[in-house]
Amino acid sequence: MLRRTLVHLSESPTAKAVVTRTPLRLMSRRFVPGETVEDFLRAAGEANALGLAVTGNYLGEAEHDERTARQAVATYLRILEGILGRGIRGNISVKPTQVGLEIGKDFLKDNLRPLLDRARERDVFIRLDMESSAWTQKTLEVFEELWAEGYRNIGPVLQSYLRRTLDDARRMNELGARVRLCKGAYVEPPHLAFQEKREVDRNYLEVAKLLLSQGVYPALATHDERIIDSLKRFARENGIGPEGFEFQMLHGVRRDLQQQLTREGYNVRVYIPFGESWYPYLMRRLAERPANVLFFVGSVVKDSPLGFLWPGNRRR
Ligand SMILES: Cc1cc2nc3c(=O)[nH]c(=O)nc-3n(C[C@H](O)[C@H](O)[C@H](O)COP(=O)(O)OP(=O)(O)OC[C@H]3O[C@@H](n4cnc5c(N)ncnc54)[C@H](O)[C@@H]3O)c2cc1C
C-alpha cells in the first residue's frame, strides 16, 4: 500500500512541487551524490578507489521537448568525456523517455547515435534503463533496431516482476545481448506483473540462472542477499567464474555488501545518478524500503526546532 502510494507520488507534479521545497532535497543526498557532472565524477572516482566500477545516470525522464532531450544527450557526452579523461572505470545508463522515447522511436535513435558512436570508439557500454510497462515493448524494439544497425555496445534491462521477462531473456540470449536484470521499480497491473514478492524473487532467480548459463556477461542488479548468495552458489556449481558476470547496486544502498562482494573477488558496479531531477528517483527508493521513510522523517525532526522530542536527541 505504502509502496504504491510512494510510486504514484513519484509521478505527481503537485507532490513534486511540495516535496522539492522541503528538507527532502538534502535527504536525497544519500542516493544522489550531487547535481553536476563534476559531482558524478567525484563520486565515481571514490567508488573506483574502493574497487567498484560505476554506471552514471543523468537524472531525467518523461521528456516531451526535443531540445531538452537533445541537451540530455549532450550531458551524457560530457559524462563520457569525463569518464575517459579521468580514467574512470565506468559506463553510462540512460532512461529512454529522457532522451526522446515519448517523442518517437526514430527521434530517440537519431538523438542517441552520436553518444553510441563516441562510446563505441572508446569501448564504453551504454545501458538502456527500463521504465514502466508502458515503455517495455518500445524500449526493446529500439534496442533491437540499434543492435541490427551493428551497435554492440548497448544493452537493455529486464525486470523480474514482469510476466513476459523470461521470454525476453531467451530472446536477448539468442542475440548475444548483455542484459541487466532487476526486480522492477514501478507499480504494474496483475495481468502484466507478479504482485507477490515471493513470485518476483522466484522469477528473478529463474531468469538470472538462464542469463548466467546462456547469456553474455549479465548484470545482476539487486541488494537481496538471499538471491545474491543463491546465484553465487549457482555460478560456482556450474563452473561460471566471477569474470563471467557482475553484481550491480545503487549508490547509497548496502555499501557493506558492495564491499564484501568486491573483497570476495566479484565484479560490482554501482549505479550513480546525478542531476536536478532527483524527485521521482528518490520516491522510488523510498517505495522500495518503507523503513527509509521513517529514517528520513527521523532526520528531519532531529534537525528541526522539535528535535528535543526525538528519542536520540533527548540526552543532549
Ligand atoms: C544497478 C541497478 C539498476 C536498476 N535499474 C532499474 C531499471 O532500469 N528499471 C527498474 O525498474 N528498476 C531498476 N532498479 C531498481 C530495482 O528494480 C529495484 O526496485 C531495487 O533494486 C530494489 O530491489 P532489490 O532487488 O534490491 O530487492 P528488494 O527485495 O526490494 O530488497 C532487498 C533488500 O535490499 C535492501 N534495499 C533494497 N532497496 C533499498 C533501498 N532503496 N534503500 C535501502 N535498502 C534497500 C533492503 O535491505 C532490502 O531488504 C535498479 C536497481 C539497481 C540495483
pLDDT tens digits for 211-249? 999 999 999 999 999 999 999 999 999 999 999 999 999
Q: What fold is seen in the domain 32-277?
A: TIM Barrel (3.20.20)
In the annotation, is 168 catalytic? no
Which of 183, 201, 270 to mutate for ligand 1's pocket (most ligand atoms within 8 Å of CB)?
183
The closest-lying atom of ligand 1 relative to the alpha carbon of residue 271 is: 1
Check pocket membership of 183 for ligand 1, CB cut-off 6 A.
yes
Task: State the distance from the centre of ligand 1 to the C-alpha of 265, rounded, in angstroms.
Answer: 22
**Residue 309 vs residue 197, higher pLDDT:** 197
| pLDDT score of 312 | 43
Distance CA 104, CA 64 (A): 10
Check pocket membership of 288 for ligand 1, CB cut-off 6 A.
yes
| pLDDT score of 293 | 72
Which of 136, 164, 222, 255 to mutate for ligand 1's pocket (most ligand atoms within 8 Å of CB)?
222
- Whether residue 311 is predicted with pLDDT greater than 70 in this model: the reply is no
Number of Cβ atoms within 10 Å of the Cβ of 305: 7
Check pocket membership of 158 for ligand 1, CB cut-off 6 A.
no
In the annotation, is 129 catalytic? yes
Task: State the distance from the centre of ligand 1 to the C-alpha of 306, rounded, in angstroms.
Answer: 33
Maximum C-alpha span of the chain: 65
Backbone angles phi, psi at 21, to 5 degrees: -95, 5
- Whether residue 300 is predicted with pLDDT greater than 90 in this model: the reply is no
| pLDDT score of 244 | 98
Check pocket membership of 30 for ligand 1, CB cut-off 6 A.
no
Percent of the chain with pLDDT over 70: 86
For the whole model, what pTM was predicted? Answer: 0.91
Band of residue 133 on the pLDDT scale cut at 50, 70, 90: very high
24-31: average pLDDT: 75
Task: State the distance from the centre of ligand 1 to the C-alpha of 9, rounded, in angstroms.
Answer: 18
Task: State the distance from the centre of ligand 1 to the C-alpha of 285, rounded, in angstroms.
Answer: 8
Number of Cβ atoms within 10 Å of the Cβ of 179: 26
Distance CA 281, CA 26 (A): 14
Task: State the distance from the centre of ligand 1 to the C-alpha of 214, rounded, in angstroms.
Answer: 24
- In this structure, the residue with its CA closest to atom 41 of ligand 1 is 285
Catalytic option among 129, 168, 201, 224: 129
Band of residue 284 on the pLDDT scale cut at 50, 70, 90: confident
Check pocket membership of 129 for ligand 1, CB cut-off 6 A.
yes
Band of residue 29 on the pLDDT scale cut at 50, 70, 90: confident
Cell of 202: 522466484
For the chain, the domains span 32-277
Q: What mean pLDDT value characterizes the chain?
A: 90
Vertex 240, ends 46 and 172: CA angle to 5°?
85
Encode pLDDT of 102-121 as tens digits.
999 999 999 999 999 999 99
Check pocket membership of 285 for ligand 1, CB cut-off 6 A.
yes
